[in-house]
Amino acid sequence: MLSAPSQIPSVKRPSGSGSPAAPDLPLPIAEALTQLEALDPLGRLHWAHRTFPDGLVMTTSFGIQSAVLLHLAHQLMEREGLAPIPVFWVDTGYLPPETYHYAEQLRARLSIDLHVVQPELSPARMEALHGRLWESGRVEDLQLYNRLRKVEPLDRAFADLGVRCWASGVRGSQTDHRKGMPLLELVRGSWALRPLLSWTSRDVYYYMQDHDLPQHPLFEQGYSTVGDWHSSAPDSGEVSGRATRFGGLKQECGIHLPGLMGEGI
Residue positions annotated with a catalytic role: 253
The SS3 call for residue 231 is helix
Cα-based distances in Å from 130 to 9, 92, 146, 219, 249: 23, 15, 13, 32, 19
Report how far residue 67's alpha carbon sits from residue 110's, in angstroms, rounded to the nearest whole number: 9
Q: Are 55 and 85 in contact (CB under 8 A)?
A: no
Q: Are 4 and 116 in contact (CB under 8 A)?
A: no
Q: Are 150 and 254 in contact (CB under 8 A)?
A: yes
Residue 10: DSSP 8-state: P
Cα-based distances in Å from 5 to 15, 82, 102, 104, 115: 30, 20, 14, 10, 6
Report how far residue 100's alpha carbon sits from residue 97's, in angstroms, rounded to the nearest whole number: 5
**How many CB atoms sit inside 10 A of residue 79's CB?**
10
The two most distant CA atoms of the chain are separated, in Å, by 51
* Direct distance between the N- and C-terminal alpha carbons of the chain, in angstroms, rounded to an integer: 42
- Burial (CB count within 10 angstroms: exposed 0-12, middle 13-18, buried 19+), residue 228: buried
